Amino acid sequence: MTEMQTEGQSTSELIGQFGVGFYSAFLVADKVIVTSKHNILTCLYEETSDYLELETIKNLVKKYSQFINFPIYVWSSKTETVEEPVDEEAQDKEDDTDDEEAAVEEEDEEKKPKTKKVEKTVWDWVLMNDIKPIWQRPTKEIEEDEYKSFYKTFSKDSDDPIAHIHFTAEGEVTFRSILFVPNVAPRGLFDEYGTKKTDYIKLFVRRVFITDDFHDMMPKYLNFIKGVVDSDDLPLNVSRETLQQHKLLKVIRKKLVRKTLDMIKKIADEKYDDLFWKEFGTNIKLGVIEDHSNRTRLAKLLRFQSSHNDAKLTSLEQYVERMKEKQDKIYFIAGANRNEVQTSPFVERLLKKGYEVLYLTEPVDEYSIQALPEFDGKRFQNVAKEGLKFEQSEKAKEKHEAMVKEYEPLLTWLKDKALKDKVEKAVLSERLTDSPCALVASQYGWSGNMERIMKAQAYQTGKDISTNYYSGQKKTFEVNPRHPLIKQLLKRVQDSEDDQTATDLAVVLFETATLRSGYLLPDTKLYGDRIERILRLSMNIPSIAMPLSSGTAFTPVSFYIPS
């Protein structure tokens, strides 16, 4: 040792060899006495005297050395109940006071030596590391119940895991690992997501526990995975802070993620939908957003509600298998709940033509889909945005072009006069069948669902540049040329572009479309006033002049609203 230190050579390689492992004792002792090959006496510092406590020693052994190969015994005491002979003279005095009946019974019994139960403190060597490292054994030798038992002991969980994977990784680094998917999501799984320690992976080096305090042993979205990692290639003699930056740890992390996704993929369909997705579906969606390298694998694990089935979730693979001939896009719509999206004006024609639409009803859903450029060669189409096209015959194209020409006066009037400064443009809709109109976002704008989510976030103060930019973008006003209200509005505009009733009707239609398209109205009171005026007029109820907006008044006139 002296020669190596004199020559400036590293002594780190000696740790664990040649009997110098006892050097770690100097962390708590100022003197260590080694006798023969097996007796070691440590003289502790005064401030480390708590290591003399038996419970402290037991806890340390169980935490760090529970799975090492050689046995560790602790000289420990326990209380036992033993039988001891009773003092005869004292017993005779007690016998004199017995009643006659008891004496007769004793005469019939064979005379036995008198004893009594007493408690004694017994000292003995107690084995502390009696649990064998299950991950060191071949998988073929381990029963399913053994994995479940180990999981419950290791994780302090009373439920069986949903799934597990046991593997040995070789290559740049060799390690063994067992990973588990718990039955129930850990409490507070998304509290301070990504900012505090939530990993449930324990790292061992040569069966010696190192730490479970890593922030990135697993990516944030897999913070629910529980398990152990044991490697012989990582150094024992470095701090946990240094180990966290070790290059081999990044290799381990990459392999853990791949194996975890393989494990999740193999979960049976019924158990996947009923158990796993219910507890950890949000994690997978976050993974699609955050993990670029594994995005394709994660996309195959996604599940959504769909117009195909009211009860069961569907995967993207299943959706693609059911796509209609010549359908080149995966259609989806996002909203607060299933009822909202399936009754949305945006899906009217799609559903009538037999197209399947994915219903995204969780706040993270739309973010997740936007992070996916495509799936299986099929791009995604938000049906609440521009870009929705249908295959048309030549006859249908000619008919549509004729309608565009017929409604050109109305479309121009809506954009330049009635809804000036409110919409980017007005066009005839190909997606509406029952609704008179809808408000459609641009390809890079916010849908109504996304705008609602962004505005609801507590940290948005209205001063965020990107939020103001996206929310301030004008939308496209689509009208349904087959709807009687739109036909009546066209007639009024053709008769007179200055028709105030037509303008009022156009504004009400626009505001109603805003709500039905999932957006928020900036002034709901003004909208309510307009609706009340139209109701009064339709029922010929006179009213006093009511302000249309600041500085203007509305004069009642009669007009026809088709049923």
Q: Which residues are annotated as a binding site for ATP?
A: 17-22, 240
How far apart CA 459 and CA 14 sit, in angstroms, is: 54
Number of other residues whose CB lies within 10 A of the CB of residue 325:
5
Q: Nearest-CA neighbor of 82 among 117, 114, 124?
A: 117
What's the Cα-to-Cα distance from 212 to each of 67, 121, 198, 228, rounded to whole Å? 15, 37, 10, 9
- Residue 28 neighbours by CB under 8 Å, 6+ apart: 42, 44, 45, 48, 51
Annotated binding site: 17-22, 240
Identify any residues that bridge with 195 across adjacent strands, giving them in sequence order.
Answer: none
**Backbone dihedral angles phi then psi of residue 272, each to the nearest 5 degrees:** -65, -50
How far apart CA 334 and CA 317 sit, in angstroms, is: 19
Amino acid (1-letter code) at residue 150: F
181 and 267 Cβ atoms separated by less than 8 Å: yes
What's the Cα-to-Cα distance from 418 to each of 20, 422, 440, 493, rounded to whole Å? 89, 9, 18, 10
Helical H segments across 444-559, by residue range: 448-456, 465-471, 484-495, 500-516, 524-538
For residue 532, the SS3 value is helix
How far apart CA 400 and CA 387 sit, in angstroms, is: 17
Amino acid (1-letter code) at residue 144: E
Residue 335 is encoded by which pair of tokens?
A: 């909203």
Amino acid (1-letter code) at residue 480: N
For residue 459, the SS3 value is coil
> What's 257-311 look like in SS3?
HHHHHHHHHCCCHHHHHHHHHHHHHHHHHHHHHHCCCCHHHHHCCCCEEECCEEE
Q: Nearest-CA neighbor of 339 among 381, 298, 307, 312?
A: 307
Q: What is the CA radius of gyration of the chain?
A: 38
How far apart CA 15 and CA 21 sit, in angstroms, is: 5
